[in-house]
Amino acid sequence: MTIPSANWSYPTTIKFGCGRISELADLCRAAGISRPLLVTDRALSALPITAQALEVIEGGGLGRAIFDRVDPNPTEANMLDGLEVYRAGHHDGVVAFGGGSALDLGKMIALMVDQPVRVWDLEDIGDWWTRANSDTIAPIVAVPTTAGTGSEVGRAGVLTDSETHRKKIIFHPKLMPAITLCDPELTVGMPAAITAGTGMDALAHCLEAYCSPHYHPMSQGIALEGMRLVFEYLPRAYATPDDLEARAQMMSAAAMGAVAFQKGLGAIHALSHPVGAVYNTHHGTTNAVVMPMVLDFNRAAIEARIDRAAAYLGIDGGFDGFRAAVMALRQSFDIPPTLGAMGVAAARLDELTAMALEDPSCGGNPVAMTAENTRALFESCL
């Protein structure tokens, strides 16, 4: 068994290895943080790994403070609550600790400590990020406890507008964490369904980046190797939760997916974002549900590319073999077969279609998404 332990600086400073949570206080100081606020979700806040992180911070002389009012699909209301706690505690940085929801909300709190604009004015549209005052963005140390979202190596966060139920991507270059601590031992206690859902999120990131028509050869290569890691190690992590080699390789795959999708995302995410915002479904699981239907939708544009990926991955049968491998993963993890099985109603398809077409992810899909074909795609997923 080979469990990697290493430091590297791509795309930010990464401290990777088992047991490295013990370095958290030192890493906060290295990031310029002397009074951190640990941001996590409600379920995680009660677990021993969170207590361990707080003890390391407190033992390093940096206090003990936590904010855990983070919904599965975090909203600006969660952010405002977190900002109130941050300001009241006179904190000077954020430890974003958890899965994608906690990581994203921690980044939003760090971003909005003292801004002259609303968070919605910093949506990932054009150069809107330049509206922010970069000097007031608090430093961030990211500690992922799942292996899927990759937010620990990203310059954006997803926030749901609680009034419109629309997910929006908020971007700023300084949302890239100053330091990311990846300790595979923190992921061992994940429930099986979360292991599967987050792992399929990593696969979706790599797959959509690989298929995106935009030019980014570095991301293309990273996406391909990320897919290999998921196909090889996610079944092991799911079947044997304490397999630290599998957990470590899935943490790598998650970070690789987030780096790769600089090249673009596509219809998987364009459909999943509105479904998650309206129905509060788990993001990675929703991605897994729609993945085969989106492969079919894009087949004419991506078949040759998927044939090459299948060959690299050791999957026989080209596109059809790759699709069958995706279906086998879904079935082995008890992923719901359709959006209907997740509770999505046909009566809301027009609304969901409009939301999908507004999502920035649709711009990276290999087949242009229209009102007509996007609704038909939703119908095939239902």
DSSP assignment of 361-378 equals GGGG-SS---HHHHHHHH
Mean per-residue pLDDT over the chain, rounded: 96
Query: Is residue 173's pLDDT more than 60?
Result: yes
The arithmetic mean of pLDDT across residues 157-169, rounded, is 91
| Neighbour count for residue 239 (Cβ, 10 Å) | 12
Q: Could you tell me if 41 and 206 are in contact, meaning their C-beta atoms sit under 8 angstroms apart?
A: no
- The pLDDT, as a whole number, for residue 2 is 81
From 186, 212, 233, the end of a domain falls on 186
* 114 in any annotated domain: yes
Boundary (domain end) residue, out of 153, 186, 219 = 186
Cβ atoms of 382 and 339 closer than 8 Å: yes
Q: Are 142 and 251 found together in one domain? A: no
Q: In the structure, how many helices (H) and strands (E) does the chain have?
A: 13, 9
Residue 97 β-bridge partners: 143
Q: Are strands 13-16 and 179-182 parallel, antiparallel or unpaired?
A: parallel
Specify whether 323 is located in the same domain as 249: yes
Confidence grade of residue 4 (pLDDT, cut at 50, 70, 90): confident
CA atoms of 277 and 168, how far apart (whole Å): 10
Report d(CA 130, CA 122) in Å as an integer: 8
Residue 48: pLDDT over 80: yes
pLDDT at 204: 98
Of 161, 186, 211, the position where a domain reaches its end is 186
113 and 173: one domain?
yes
pLDDT at 307 over 70: yes
pLDDT classification of 6: cutoffs 50, 70, 90: very high
Q: Is residue 13 part of a domain?
A: yes
Q: Please give the share of the chain, as a percent, with pLDDT higher than 90.
A: 96
Q: What is the pLDDT of residue 143?
A: 98
Residues 203 and 131 in one domain: no
Q: For residue 246, is it within any domain? A: yes
* CATH of residue 37: 3.40.50.1970
Are 164 and 222 members of one domain? no
Domain hosting 13: range is 6-186
- Is residue 1 in a domain? no
Each residue's pLDDT tens digit, 83-99: 999 999 999 999 999 99
Inter-residue contact 340 to 289 (CB < 8 Å): no
**Are 216 and 263 a contacting pair, CB within 8 Å?**
yes
- Around Cβ 57, how many Cβ atoms within 10 Å? 23
Q: Identify whether residues 136 and 248 lie together within a single domain.
A: no
Q: Is the pLDDT of residue 313 over 70?
A: yes
Q: Is the per-residue pLDDT at 59 higher than 90?
A: yes
Q: How many domains does the chain have?
A: 2
pLDDT of 28 higher than 90: yes
Angle at CA of residue 43, ends 261 and 106, nearest 5°: 45
Same domain for 358 and 216, yes or no, is yes
The yes-or-no verdict on residue 1 having pLDDT over 60 is no
Other CB atoms within 10 Å distance of the CB of residue 110: 29
Element spanning 143, H or E: strand 140-144
Does residue 363 register a pLDDT over 90?
A: yes
The predicted-structure confidence for 186-242, as pLDDT tens digits, reads as follows 999 999 999 999 999 999 999 999 999 999 999 999 999 999 999 999 999 999 999
Q: Do 167 and 234 belong together in one domain?
A: no
174 and 93 in a common domain? yes
Among 333, 352, 204, 334, residue whose Cα is nearest residue 279: 352
Task: Say yes or no: 343 and 245 in one domain.
Answer: yes
- φ/ψ of 149, rounded to 5, equals -65, -40
- For 275, phi then psi, to 5°, come to -60, -45
Two tokens, residue 326:
């995706």
User: Domain with 251 in it: what CATH number?
Assistant: 1.20.1090.10
Are 338 and 292 part of one and the same domain? yes
Q: Are residues 221 and 171 in the same domain?
A: no
The b/e string for 272-282 (b: 16+ C-beta within 10 A; e otherwise) is bbbbbbbbebb
pLDDT at 319: 98
User: What's the token pair of residue 325?
Assistant: 């491998």
Predicted confidence at residue 109, as pLDDT, reads: 98
The pLDDT value recorded for residue 238 is: 98
Residue type, 147: A
Q: Is the pLDDT of residue 249 over 90?
A: yes
Q: Is residue 203 part of a domain?
A: yes
Across 133-140, average pLDDT: 98
The mean pLDDT value for 13-22 works out to 98
pLDDT at 165: 85
